A and B are shown apart, each in its own frame.
Chain A
Amino acid sequence: MSGVGQAVSGELIGEQQSSTGSAVQIMRRFLRHRLAMPSLVVLVLLLVVCFGAAVIAPYPRGLQDLLLGPTGPSPEHWLGTDEIGRDYLSEILYAGQVSLAIGLAVAVLSTLVGTALGAIAGYVGGWIGELLMRITDLFLIVPAIALIAIIVQGLGPSPVTIVLALAALGWTYIARVVRGQVLSLRERDFIDAARGIGASSVRIIASHLLPNLVGIVVVAMSLSVASAIIVESTLSFLGFGVQPPDTSWGAMLSQAAGYVGTDRVYLLYFPGLFILVTVLCVNFIGDGLRDALDPQGKQL
């Protein structure tokens, strides 16, 4: 049989992996991922230092030292101080609570809603699918920032309303991507095969479609963490975001926007750096998850 070659190579990669449960296998593949594991460590570290800021931060929240004023990085203030003498590292850690919470909450919410509605729109089709897609079209033609600003203004600018407003827009992007993928998966024989053995629509979506969507959903989710943090910073810049004394990385970024070209430009770099690191970590973790969940286990 010409299958012998393939069977043998299957033997080689198969033996250690296939004998163990698939959850263990996925874990192992994820742990071996060169970028995902360090990223996960960094992200967890970020979460710990930000949400543990009350204990970890070197200075209390919002402690001003007007006599000191803005200083660059120094042994006392690792990331320097801002114009009213607050320790910038402490400020960034407290701001990170808001940014990370908004980024992750928006990503989770919009992914859940977007995946569910996108899968239904793609699989069921008909007038339901048509209706769902026209709604996402509606969100596309309305200027997002203006809409979010209005929602936040109407409901009061708290982190919770910002999350809801961002998720209300964010799900449409994921729904679109998921629907496209479902439309192509739906035509594959294995979906027909599932129907042929009597699987219900719910089972087909949950057990056959979603596992095959993990890759793009994870990537879309990591992108939406990034875009949520960035859109939140835009909102803060426009004055619709988190309101003082609350602050976020985006708000700090926009406060420091005027310092480009001055010696206080570090006030711009540090929040930007934290946003960058967070977004990169989430993206790499997304990559790692996608690879780990793929049984064909593409090795890096």
Chain B
Amino acid sequence: MAEGSADVSSSLTVDHLVKEYRVGGGLLRRRASVVQAVSDVSLSIEAGKTFGLVGESGCGKSSLGRTVARLQTGESGSIRLGGDEISRVSGRSLRAIRRRVQFVFQDPYASLNPRKSVRATLAEPLAIHRLHRGQESRRVSELLEQVGLNPAHADRYPHEFSGGQRQRIGIARALAVEPEVIVLDEPVSALDVSIQAGVLNLLDELQGRLGLTYLFIAHDLSVVRHLSDRVGVMYLGRMVEQGPVDRLYEHPMHPYTQALLSAIPVPDPKVERARQRIVLRGDVPSPVSPPSGCRFRTRCWKATEKCAIETPELVDLGEGQSVACHYPAERTVF
């Protein structure tokens, strides 16, 4: 099924993905409006690497992640895992895909069934995919050890664990089927800062040990920088800029990326006082009726008439960086 164009070493390739949600409507009111949560987004992740996806809440990054993990189905576009197209599979082949792509949820309190012990939660994927038959108990202990939890606590229930421990259980559940790709949907944003580092280091370590490929979704840019090889910035359902992590952080070309980066506080008070922050005015427009042309133009200080008429395409600027802006320009934000 390899489509030739795909990079051989690329583990996950998303091409022109569109995910829509219907809003309103019902049995009697036929008129429903459509929100394009993800519109025409492409990205690719090399095997064993991490792609960081950032953006404000509501920009479609979680929708993209859920679609990639096939928790939902996109309207159009393709998702390729290795050489296999997975965006449309269903039934038995979808179940096979579940073994290869896993998902870690943002909220460790909502993502674990309160009525299931840790053992039951971790044994379920093994039972579904008939893995480690007869050895389930050993595998559960192994998984718990892998994520830094005490295997002796396997018979406890989620409420007996802290947020960070629960997130580790969520990670263990994802690891249970030995996946190639894990979509991490803001895995640490619900945790205390003191615990975040531990979970991030765990993810890093697991990637090194198991050769995992991550799609790491976050709104915290410093977290993303620490973990990612490539970073993409989304705004209102569109990818506005992506590139290798250092390139993007040091030479952001899109005004939105620059604004986001300028919001990161600098731990040095002198620098912090001296630097100039870009403060965006207004709110993110409603995704039900996004602005014409460039979706960022309503909040952009560079916007011209052209931005309202023509939708900027992602243009390759070299060194793996591409940007969707009519007036890309470097600007030092640190």
Which A residues are closer than 8 A to B by beta carbons? 1-4, 6-7, 10, 13-14, 18-19, 22, 130, 188-190, 192-199, 203, 207-208, 211-212, 295-296
Q: How far is the CA of A157 from the CA of B239 in the complex (A)?
A: 71
Contact A196 B161 (CB under 8 A): no
The smallest C-beta distance from B64 to any residue of chain A, in angstroms, reads 15
Q: Which residues of B contact A2 (CB under 8 A)?
A: 162, 164, 192, 194-195
Contact B195 A198 (CB under 8 A): no
CB interface residues, B 108-154, toward A, < 8 Å = 110-117, 124-125, 128-129, 153
Q: How far is the CA of A13 from the CA of B160 in the complex (A)?
A: 9
Size of the B side of the interface (Cβ < 8 Å), in residues, is 44
Given contacts A2-B192, A196-B71, A198-B129, 9 further A-B contacts (CB under 8 A): A4-B162, A192-B111, A195-B71, A196-B102, A197-B124, A198-B99, A211-B116, A212-B113, A212-B115
Contact B114 A198 (CB under 8 A): no
The smallest C-beta distance from B115 to any residue of chain A, in angstroms, reads 4
Cβ of B105 under 8 Å from chain A: yes
Known A196-B69, A197-B173; contact A7-B124, beta-carbon cutoff 8 A: no
Q: How far is the CA of A13 from the CA of B195 in the complex (A)?
A: 24
Contact A18 B195 (CB under 8 A): no
Number of A-B contacts (CB under 8 A): 105
Of all A-B residue pairs in the complex, the 5 with the closest CB atoms, nearest first, are A3-B162, A10-B160, A198-B98, A189-B111, A197-B125
Task: Determine which of A19, A188, A196, A203 lies in contact with B155 in the assembled complex, contact meaning CB atoms within 8 Å.
Answer: A19
The smallest C-beta distance from A289 to any residue of chain B, in angstroms, reads 14
Cβ of B107 under 8 Å from chain A: yes
Q: Which residues of A contact B117 (CB under 8 A)?
A: 18, 22, 295
Q: Which residues of A contact B105 (CB under 8 A)?
A: 189, 192-193
Q: Is the interface of A mostly helix, strand, loop or mixed?
A: helix
Cβ of B176 under 8 Å from chain A: yes
Q: How far is the CA of A22 from the CA of B129 in the complex (A)?
A: 25
Task: Determine which of B103, B156, B161 lies in contact with A3 in the assembled complex, contact meaning CB atoms within 8 Å.
Answer: B161
Known A189-B105, A207-B124; contact A296-B195, beta-carbon cutoff 8 A: no
Contact A189 B107 (CB under 8 A): yes
The smallest C-beta distance from A193 to any residue of chain B, in angstroms, reads 5
Counting chain A CB atoms within 10 Å of each CB, which of B99, B110, B195 scores highest?
A: B110
Cβ of B279 under 8 Å from chain A: no
Q: How far is the CA of A211 from the CA of B115 in the complex (A)?
A: 7
Q: Which residues of A contact B88 (CB under 8 A)?
A: none
Contact B176 A7 (CB under 8 A): no
Known A3-B164, A295-B159; contact A197-B110, beta-carbon cutoff 8 A: no
Give B64-100 as 1s and 0s: 1 = Cβ < 8 Å from A's Cβ atoms: 0010010100000000000000000000001100110
The smallest C-beta distance from A24 to any residue of chain B, in angstroms, reads 12
The smallest C-beta distance from A27 to any residue of chain B, in angstroms, reads 16
Give the nearest-CB partner of B155 in chain A.
Answer: A18
The smallest C-beta distance from A38 to any residue of chain B, in angstroms, reads 27
The smallest C-beta distance from A203 to any residue of chain B, in angstroms, reads 7
Contact A198 B160 (CB under 8 A): no
Known A1-B194, A198-B98; contact A295-B157, beta-carbon cutoff 8 A: yes
The smallest C-beta distance from A180 to any residue of chain B, in angstroms, reads 17
The smallest C-beta distance from A232 to any residue of chain B, in angstroms, reads 35
Contact A198 B95 (CB under 8 A): yes
Cβ of B198 under 8 Å from chain A: yes
Q: Which residues of B contact A4 (CB under 8 A)?
A: 162
Q: Which residues of B contact A194 (CB under 8 A)?
A: 113, 124
Contact B114 A18 (CB under 8 A): no
Known A2-B162, A10-B161, A189-B110; contact A199-B128, beta-carbon cutoff 8 A: yes
The smallest C-beta distance from B99 to any residue of chain A, in angstroms, reads 7
